């Protein structure tokens, strides 16, 4: 499997929405969506797609949006979907809940990194601990009350120090943070899950098989 290493802004333009893949740049006037609008990348832009989108196309795009937002492989999101089907709650909501509790996403939601990409890098470089033990797997699923922390080397990184000291950052209600340590105080409920992703369309996409 290979990870997409091309321009991240191109992915946002393809989905027609901000996926917040580049941290603060996504909220600045430098964001291509602010300059050009949601023009599909490629030589002919939006002219490549004319007419009404099919039901399958809408489902596919929603699945791609979730995959690119959380930066997971196709195989991974399908595994998460199969796991979500086993849970008592609605499959779509359970899927998003699994994605939200990935270590890289929790680190991002805690405000310890400006983007999921930088969170992944911190984890891969061994700067992140869970319950005091080093974890270098971005896909690690964090459980309730597990403590997520940063080591001293991470706190010396300018971007990380700036993120940790940002007093204006709005912490999600399902998380708690004190200095450079945070935890999940409860699993995210339906109101905490991202509204920009239509989880029902993703369920419909995988239900076609």
Q: What is the CATH topology of the domain spanning 8-43+52-99+195-207?
A: Ribosomal Protein S4 Delta 41; Chain A, domain 1 (1.10.1050)
Q: How far apart are CA 17 and CA 25, in angstroms?
A: 14
Confidence band for 166, pLDDT divided at 50, 70 and 90: confident
Q: How far apart are CA 148 and CA 134, in angstroms?
A: 10
pLDDT of residue 53: 77
* 102-186 CATH pick, 3.30.750.80, 3.10.290.10, 3.40.50.300, 3.90.1520.10: 3.10.290.10
**pTM (2 decimals)?**
0.78
Helices (H), the chain: 8-15, 32-36, 55-70, 74-85, 91-100, 103-109, 116-124, 152-155, 158-164, 199-207
pLDDT of residue 45: 53
Confidence band for 32, pLDDT divided at 50, 70 and 90: low
Per-domain residue ranges for the chain? 8-43+52-99+195-207, 102-186
Q: Quick one: average pLDDT of 138-143?
A: 97
Q: How far apart are CA 115 and CA 87, in angstroms?
A: 29
Confidence band for 2, pLDDT divided at 50, 70 and 90: very low
The answer, yes or no, to whether residue 9 has pLDDT greater than 80, is no
Q: For residue range 118-134, list pLDDT tens digits in order.
A: 999 999 999 999 999 99
End-to-end Cα distance, the chain: 22
DSSP for 155-188 reads: HTSHHHHHHHT-TT----TTEEEETTEEEESS--
Query: Minimum mean pLDDT among 36-45, 86-95, 98-107, 200-209: which range?
Result: 36-45
The answer, yes or no, to whether residue 50 has pLDDT greater than 60, is no
pLDDT of residue 1: 42
Q: How far apart are CA 65 and CA 57, in angstroms?
A: 12
pLDDT of residue 51: 56
Structure tokens at 167: 């007093």
């Amino acid at each position: 499997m290979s990870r997409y290493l091309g321009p991240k802004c191109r992915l946002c333009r393809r989905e027609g929405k901000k996926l917040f893949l580049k941290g603060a740049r996504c909220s600045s006037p430098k964001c291509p969506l602010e300059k050009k609008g949601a023009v599909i990348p490629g030589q002919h832009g939006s002219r490549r797609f004319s007419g009404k989108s099919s039901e399958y196309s809408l489902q596919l795009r929603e699945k791609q949006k979730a995959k690119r937002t959380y930066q997971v492989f196709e195989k991974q999101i399908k595994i998460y979907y199969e796991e979500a089907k086993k849970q008592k709650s609605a499959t779509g909501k359970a899927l998003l809940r699994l994605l939200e509790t990935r270590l890289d996403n929790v680190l991002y939601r805690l405000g310890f990194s400006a983007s999921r990409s930088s969170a992944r890098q911190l984890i891969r470089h061994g700067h992140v601990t869970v319950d005091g033990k080093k974890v270098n797997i971005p896909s690690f699923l964090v459980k309730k009350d597990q403590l997520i922390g940063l080591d001293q080397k991470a706190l010396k990184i300018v971007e990380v120090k700036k993120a940790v000291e940002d007093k204006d950052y709005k912490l999600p209600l399902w998380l708690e943070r004190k200095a450079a340590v945070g935890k999940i105080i409860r699993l995210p409920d339906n109101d905490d899950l991202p509204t920009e992703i239509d989880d029902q369309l993703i369920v419909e996409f995988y239900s076609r098989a």
